[in-house]
C-alpha cells in the first residue's frame, strides 16, 4: 500500500513490524447488544430483531443476495470483497460495527443516515420494502453499529501509553542501525511530546487557577524529554549507536519521572474538562475582542 498506492519509499522491516503491531491492536468498541457470531443479544429491541430477519432475507430480484451476504455477521459484518451497489463503481464492503459513529456513509459520504442508506438499497435492488420494514432495518443497523462506550476522556496516562507504544520502534531500530527509522521516530515522538506539553497552560494563563508550580514542572520535563530524544538522533547520525542506545535508556528513565510530574499537574491541565472549558472560553473571548477592535 505504501509503495504501490501512495508512491512512498519501501519501508524498512522495523517500520512494517511497528505498523502491523499497531493495526493488530485496533479493535472495535464493545457492544452489549451483540452476542458472539454477530447475533443480537437479549438487549436488542423487537424492531431490531425484525430488522435482522430482513437483513438475512434474500433479495426478491436476486435470491442469491442479501444484506448479510456482503455484511457477514459472523465475519465482523464484512466479506473483504468489492461490489457495485449503485454508487458509481466497485467498492470494498465496510464493516457495520460501530458505524453509528462513522457517518456520513458510502464511499463519497453521500448519505447522512441509515434511513437514506436503506432507501438507496431499496431502490437500487428493488427490495420492495414497506415503510415499517425500512424502519425495522434501520433499527437493526443502529443496533449493530452501536457501542457501550464510544468515547472516553483523555488522560495523561492514555497519552503516555500511546507514546510508549510509538517509541518502542527504537528498541529494534537502534540495534539495526537504521538511521532513517530512528530519525522518523524521534521527530514524530518529539512532536507528540510538544503537543502533550501544551496541555499544561503556562503560568501566564489567567484562566487556570492554581497549580502554577506543577504546570511549570510538567512543561519543563516535557522539554527535557524532547532534548533527550534529539540526542538519540544526533548520536545515530554520527554513527554512535552505543551512544544512541544510552540516550534511549536515559529517555526511558526520564519518562518515569516526567509521568509522575505530569500526573501531579493533571488537575490543572486541559485533561481536566473544567479547566479545558475555561481555557478555551478565555481564548474565544480574546478572539472576539480582537475582532471587535478591528472593526
The whole-number pLDDT of residue 285 equals: 87
Cα angle for residues 32, 27, 262 (degrees, 5° grid): 105
Fill in the DSSP letter of residue 99: G
For the packed helices 179-197 and 156-167, what is the interaxial angle rounded to 10 degrees? 170
* Residue 167 to residue 177: CA distance in whole angstroms: 15
* Residue 92 to residue 85: CA distance in whole angstroms: 10
Q: What is the CATH number of domain 36-144?
A: 1.10.760.10
What SS3 state is found at 153?
Answer: coil
The whole-number pLDDT of residue 21 equals: 72
The whole-number pLDDT of residue 2 equals: 62
Question: Could you tell me if 51 and 141 are in contact, meaning their C-beta atoms sit under 8 angstroms apart?
Answer: yes
List, run by run, the mean pLDDT of 10-residue segments along the chain (295 residues).
67 72 77 95 97 96 94 95 92 95 92 96 96 98 90 88 93 94 94 95 91 96 96 97 97 96 96 93 85 69
* Residue 125 to residue 56: CA distance in whole angstroms: 15
The whole-number pLDDT of residue 5 equals: 66
The label of the residue with cell 420494514 reads 133
Q: And the C-alpha cell for 256?
A: 518515569
Distances (CA, A) of 67 to 23, 125, 131: 27, 11, 18
* Residue 132 to residue 138: CA distance in whole angstroms: 10
Question: Could you tell me if 263 and 157 are in contact, meaning their C-beta atoms sit under 8 angstroms apart?
Answer: yes
The label of the residue with cell 499537574 reads 265
The whole-number pLDDT of residue 6 equals: 66
For residue 227, the surrounding DSSP H or E stretch is helix 212-237
The whole-number pLDDT of residue 116 equals: 97
Q: Nearest Cα to 196, choosing from 130, 266, 146, 144?
A: 266
Q: 95-113 pLDDT, tens per residue?
A: 999 999 999 999 899 999 9
Q: 175-195 pLDDT, tens per residue?
A: 999 999 999 999 999 999 999
Q: Nearest Cα to 56, choosing from 167, 136, 156?
A: 136
Q: And the C-alpha cell for 244?
A: 544512541
Distances (CA, A) of 40 to 31, 43, 57: 10, 8, 16
The whole-number pLDDT of residue 17 equals: 75
Domains of the chain by residue range: 36-144, 156-294
Amino acid at each position: 500500500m505504501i509503495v504501490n498506492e501512495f508512491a512512498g519509499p519501501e519501508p524498512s522491516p522495523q517500520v512494517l513490524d511497528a505498523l502491523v503491531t499497531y493495526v493488530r491492536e485496533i479493535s472495535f468498541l464493545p457492544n452489549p447488544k451483540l452476542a458472539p457470531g454477530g447475533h443480537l443479544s437479549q438487549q436488542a429491541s423487537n424492531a431490531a430483531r425484525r430488522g435482522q430477519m430482513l437483513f438475512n432475507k434474500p433479495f426478491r430480484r436476486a435470491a442469491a443476495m442479501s444484506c448479510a451476504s456482503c455484511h457477514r455477521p459472523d465475519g465482523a459484518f464484512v466479506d473483504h470483497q468489492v461490489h457495485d451497489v449503485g454508487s458509481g463503481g466497485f467498492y470494498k464492503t465496510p464493516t457495520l460495527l460501530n458505524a453509528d459513529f462513522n457517518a456520513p456513509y458510502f464511499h463519497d459520504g453521500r448519505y447522512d443516515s441509515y434511513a437514506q442508506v436503506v432507501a438507496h438499497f431499496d431502490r437500487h435492488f428493488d427490495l420492495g420494502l414497506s415503510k415499517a420494514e425500512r424502519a425495522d432495518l434501520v433499527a437493526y443497523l443502529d443496533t449493530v453499529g452501536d457501542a457501550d462506550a464510544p468515547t472516553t476522556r483523555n488522560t495523561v496516562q492514555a497519552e503516555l501509553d500511546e507514546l510508549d507504544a510509538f517509541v518502542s520502534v527504537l528498541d529494534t531500530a537502534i540495534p539495526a542501525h537504521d538511521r532513517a527509522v530512528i530519525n522518523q521516530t524521534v521527530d514524530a515522538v518529539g512532536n507528540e511530546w510538544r503537543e502533550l506539553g501544551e496541555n499544561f497552560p503556562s503560568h501566564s494563563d489567567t484562566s487556570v487557577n492554581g497549580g502554577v508550580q506543577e504546570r511549570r514542572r510538567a512543561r519543563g520535563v516535557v522539554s527535557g524529554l524532547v532534548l533527550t530524544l534529539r540526542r538519540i538522533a544526533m548520536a545515530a547520525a554520527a554513527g554512535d549507536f552505543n551512544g544512541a542506545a544510552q540516550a534511549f535508556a536515559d529517555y526511558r528513565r526520564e519518562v518515569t519521572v516526567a509521568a509522575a510530574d505530569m500526573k501531579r499537574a493533571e488537575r490543572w491541565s486541559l485533561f481536566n474538562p473544567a479547566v479545558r472549558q475555561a481555557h478555551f472560553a478565555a481564548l474565544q473571548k480574546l478572539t472576539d475582542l480582537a475582532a471587535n477592535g478591528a472593526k
